[in-house]
Amino acid sequence: MSEMRFDGQVAIVTGAGGNPSLGRAYAMLLASRGAKVVVNDNGVGPDGRGGRPAHPETVVKEIIEAGGEAVLDTNSVADHGSAEAVVQTALDAWGKVDILINNAGVVALAEIDEVTPSDIEKILAAHLFGSIWMTRAVWPHMKEAGYGRIVSAASGSMLGQRYQSIYGAAKGGIWALTRSLAVEGAAHGIRANSIGPGARTAMSELCAKEELVSHMPPAELVAPTIAYLCHQDCAVSGAYFTVAAGATRFGLFAETEGYFNPDVTLEDVRDNFGKIMDTDKHTLIPEPLDNPMSEIIQPKHPYVPA
């Protein structure tokens, strides 16, 4: 079978300056297959404080020395203006953007009553708002081209983990954002998916127990799946995949058969709660492009900016 290539395509990979890091692995693989890559990273590292700074210029050098094309961008993704500047870097260098990988982020491990307001804002800004601002920045260019691929980093932490309430909330927001982007992008040739990656990275070295870090798989085993989701041949949109150690799994969500009573009372809910929680009978929640609510919910009046 033919090799999958990205010749002539322009990709932005945010948070690509760490080593080891997922972003670096994505950027290196895409470049090795012919993509022109904007290596974005503001250098603060996984703690957001510069405790272990990232070096995106080194990744750019690695790509160029390997025969690929890359440019450096050190703008933050955490606000609208700087996200626009990231995209402008791609436009100035190559005149377009075909691929966006929302990978940038920081972490602060603490329980909900311990994490500071500053760290809450920093985590949400880097992960959730970073994905929103970057997507908004590339969207008009992808719409005009009638083509685009967006892959965003969600996480298994959105399903619930100790010390990661804010991080998980940001990742859950990215998952939800991606599903709606799939619906909005369908008419414009834009496909969006999210991932829950697992690998040894500068962030996992910061978070995981020492005895686990040495057994974590390399980020390079995550990169092939992400590259496939970025490829023009990939038809799926709005999906969530867990990717780690060479394994890729399609994440499904379901609801139980539950309990129905048109005259339901508080006591009815109490008395039938076991049935509501019974997982023996369940149905899968539709993928976003199959969700009838996408057609039912429509604005009644034209949107007026506030």
Is residue 302 situated within a structural domain? no
Give the integer Cα–Cα distance in Å for 210 and 265: 52
For the question of whether the overall pTM of this predicted structure is more than 0.75, the answer is yes
Do 135 and 84 reside in the same domain of the chain? yes
Which residues are part of the catalytic machinery?
Answer: 167
Identify whether the C-beta of residue 142 lies closer than 8 Å to the C-beta of residue 190: yes
Is residue 306 situated within a structural domain? no
**58-69 pLDDT, tens digit each:** 999 999 999 999
Do 137 and 246 reside in the same domain of the chain? yes
Do 161 and 39 reside in the same domain of the chain? yes
Count of Cβ atoms closer than 10 Å to residue 306 Cβ: 3
Do 226 and 264 reside in the same domain of the chain? no
pLDDT in tens, the chain (306 residues): 799 999 999 999 999 999 999 999 999 999 999 999 999 999 998 888 887 889 999 999 999 999 999 999 999 999 999 999 999 999 999 999 999 999 999 999 899 999 999 999 999 999 999 999 999 999 999 999 999 999 999 999 999 999 999 999 999 999 999 999 999 999 999 999 999 999 877 777 766 667 676 667 889 999 999 999 999 999 999 999 999 999 999 999 999 999 999 999 999 999 999 999 999 999 999 999 988 777 777 787 888 888
Do 59 and 78 reside in the same domain of the chain? yes
Do 123 and 264 reside in the same domain of the chain? no
Integer Rg of the chain from CA: 20
Give the integer Cα–Cα distance in Å for 210 and 233: 40
Max intra-chain CA distance, the chain? 70
Report DSSP state, residue 20: S
Is residue 5 situated within a structural domain? no
Identify whether the C-beta of residue 86 lies closer than 8 Å to the C-beta of residue 73: yes
| CATH number of 154's domain | 3.40.50.720
Count up the domains in the chain and report the number. 2
